[in-house]
Structure 1
Amino acid sequence: MTTVSPLLTVRGLHVTFPGRHGAPPSRAVDGVDLTVRPGEIVALVGESGCGKSTLARSLLGLVRPAAGRIEFAGRPLEYRSRALKAHRRRVQLVLQDPSGSLNPRHTVYEAVAEGLRVHGYAGDEKEAVTGALARAGLRPAERFLPRHPHELSGGQRQRVVIAGALVLSPDLLVADEPVASLDASVRGEILALLLRLRTELGLAALVVTHDLGLAWNAADRVAVMYLGRIVETGRVEQVLAAPRHPYTRALLSVLPDTPGDPVVLSGEPPDPSRVPSGCRFRPRCPVLASGAADRAGVADRCRTEDPALADGGGGVDVACHWAARA
């Protein structure tokens, strides 16, 4: 069996920001390993403030890491302006709020053509723009070219943003909460679009979201992030059907039609400038609070040792002392 080499590889990535008023640095991304293969959709899931968006921006070179390595198509990401420009042609970012991504004074044509002009496209610009709009589901494309963002629905604006990314024929889309601001009926259309683009173009995507339901419906693999680190990752049907990490279980418990009572986590996620000792999930962990970790003989390790991602069986990696023993 031939193993496909990853399109994107992240190893030991750390991104820090200076603390305010003498506080320690904020460890926004704190040792992340991640891969995305060609044509694969990976969902990066977690609560707000866990470092998902910072990680996404670091993949485009918009945030420079303090340590670690990002490789794309087997080559390390370089931070020279020419190298970054070439990288961003192949890796495109789609943001949550389409209204904020589009200049209200620009027509749809100008919005989609902007990337072509930045990168010095030498072909037929109008043909490239109309083709990208059609691939994004705006047909007939010519009808949308003269319109301004205020003349479009929220779903149409998001499709224009996606067309602006597709016009450069990238290999990877990094989509940061791409449906969070859309109505429920439109979310399904955008997710179906991502799946169709993967099928028709072989496009890979890293979809950043707090919504596990989105991950279930759109992704091939899921990576669950907590306080700057991936705590569970694997095939989406394996992770979401039988989650190992207590944090993943808590996130899943609030989805509709999930058996059992919702798991209510105590408190808020800790400040990333003050990551707890031992397991970073320890202060909110229901397994530790219930005594289950004591009964499994791992409570002391939970309090003193930060677990690394390890094989949890069935192709799932999990960073949890209790899950490794369960």
Structure 2
Amino acid sequence: MTETRTTEEAPATTSPSLLEARDLHVEFPSRGRRARAVDGVNLAIGEGEIVALVGESGCGKTTLARTLLGLERPTSGEVRYGGAALDYGSKALKAYRRQVQLVLQDPTGSLNPRHTVYEAVAEGPRIHGLADEREVVSTALSRAGLRPPDRFFLRYPHELSGGQRQRVVIAGALALNPRVLVADEPVASLDASVRGEILALLLRLRSELGLSALVVTHDLGLAWNIADRVAVMYLGRIVESGPVEQVLTAPRHPYTQALLSVLPESPERVVLTGEPPDPTRIPGGCRFHARCQVLASGRAAEAGVDGKCRSQPLDVLPAVPVAQAACHYAEI
């Protein structure tokens, strides 16, 4: 986490929800059981707002993102866009995916090595039958910072740097003029010197185009630098959320505290024991209690909440802009 945030000015007030998950559950069959990959999530992204979704690998972040994109159907609950429940009919879903676009973490894997930059960016406009294809591609490349755009038309992915490839992926999303970007680890595969450029690009797109974004990441430092709000996910559920400065400077949930402790600026390192539990066997009580440093240290017992931690489930957090944490110890 850096000393000063690199964000451009964030929206002054909370915007109406543009994209929303309401009591979302997504389950998959797994060895004769049901894996609860997303187990009750409320999450809202306002117009012009950047929300960071943070957590360890396997916590359900990517499944939640795919469900918000319409690539997975919820077992229960719903995705809402512009105030209306998502329609999974093929025509409606095609229109929706023009509005909500995915940016993948690995530009090398998401770009066809046999396609030129022009073909890669033009693919979406061709699927959706947009007119003035050349102009659409040129504008998208320019907005993504590849200028002059025609200099890149006939290049292939292997002729570009990692940062340029990620800009091509972003241009492919921008070509459809979306309102929301869902970026899954957008800078994870990039060198440190390029990461800041891509983050600055996402912020500039928010400022110039009014884009909203959900940024999926395991990196709380990235969340600090780009997001207005942060949602921390553990074992299929959001356990803490709120304005990024408030959550990351005064985290209330022990899991958030542990994630923050790996940053160089942290005064104390918290080492979590074990791995996240099997999503087919979610523990009773607080789902984090088996790994919780507050419970293990005896502080929860001193506060008289250790029994609750082991046996009493916590309510699903609502989609509200204020800071909140699903933790018995934090509630005292």
Which residue number corresponds to residue 118 of structure 1?
A: 127
**Cα displacement string for residues 138-174 of structure 1 (whole angstroms, at most 9, x for unaligned residues):** 1111110000111111111110000000011100000
Q: 2:95 aligns with which of 37, 61, 86?
A: 86
SS at match of 2:27: strand
Residue 26, structure 1, aligned to residue 59, structure 2: no
Residue 103, structure 1, aligned to residue 112, structure 2: yes
Which residue number corresponds to residue 160 of structure 1?
A: 168
Which residue number corresponds to residue 226 of structure 1?
A: 234
Residue 4 (structure 1) shift = 3.1
SS at match of 1:293: helix
Alpha-carbon distance change, 29 to 314 in structure 1, aligned in 2, over 3 angstroms: closer
Q: 2:56 aligns with which of 47, 50, 53?
A: 47
Q: Which amino acid aligns with 1:257?
A: E
Supply the distance in 1 between the matched residues of 2:58 and 2:227 (Cα, whole angstroms): 22
SS at match of 1:17: strand
Supply the distance in 2 between the matched residues of 1:212 and 1:191 (Cα, whole angstroms): 14
Residue 315 (structure 1) shift = 2.4
Which residue number corresponds to residue 269 of structure 1?
A: 276
Residue 270 (structure 1) shift = 0.8
Supply the distance in 1 between the matched residues of 2:246 and 2:265 (Cα, whole angstroms): 18
- Contact 2:42–2:317 (CA<8 Å) still a contact in 1? no
- Contact 2:79–2:86 (CA<8 Å) still a contact in 1? yes
Q: Give 1:1-326 correspondences, 5 Å limit.
A: 4-20=15-31, 22=32, 24-122=33-131, 124-259=132-267, 261-309=268-316, 315-325=322-332
Supply the distance in 2 between the matched residues of 1:103 and 1:14 (Cα, whole angstroms): 33
Cα RMSD for the two superposed structures: 1.5
- Contact 1:232–1:248 (CA<8 Å) still a contact in 2? yes
Q: Which amino acid aligns with 2:140?
A: A
Q: Which amino acid aligns with 1:132?
A: A
Q: Which amino acid aligns with 1:100?
A: G
Supply the distance in 1 between the matched residues of 2:68 and 2:265 (Cα, whole angstroms): 35
Aligned length: 320
**Cα displacement string for residues 290-312 of structure 1 (whole angstroms, at most 9, x for unaligned residues):** 1111111111111111212569x
- Contact 2:235–2:279 (CA<8 Å) still a contact in 1? yes
TM-score, normalising length from structure 1? 0.96
Where structure 2 has 5 or more consecutive residues not aligned to the other structure, the ranges are: 1-11
SS at match of 2:108: helix
Q: Which amino acid aligns with 2:145?
A: G
Q: Which amino acid aligns with 1:172?
A: V
Supply the distance in 2 between the matched residues of 1:314 and 1:44 (Cα, whole angstroms): 14
Supply the distance in 2 between the matched residues of 1:4 and 1:103 (Cα, whole angstroms): 37
Which residue number corresponds to residue 4 of structure 2?
A: none
Q: Which amino acid aligns with 1:65?
A: P
SS at match of 1:225: strand
- Contact 1:232–1:309 (CA<8 Å) still a contact in 2? no
User: What is the aligned-residue identity percentage?
Assistant: 71
Task: Report 1 or 2 for greater relative contact order, CA contacts < 8 Å, sequence distance ≥ 6.
Answer: 2
SS at match of 2:269: coil
SS at match of 1:323: coil
Where structure 1 has 5 or more consecutive residues not aligned to the other structure, the ranges are: none
- Contact 1:309–1:318 (CA<8 Å) still a contact in 2? no
Q: Which amino acid aligns with 1:214?
A: L
- Contact 2:14–2:321 (CA<8 Å) still a contact in 1? no
Residue 3 (structure 1) shift = 5.9
Supply the distance in 2 between the matched residues of 1:203 and 1:310 (Cα, whole angstroms): 26
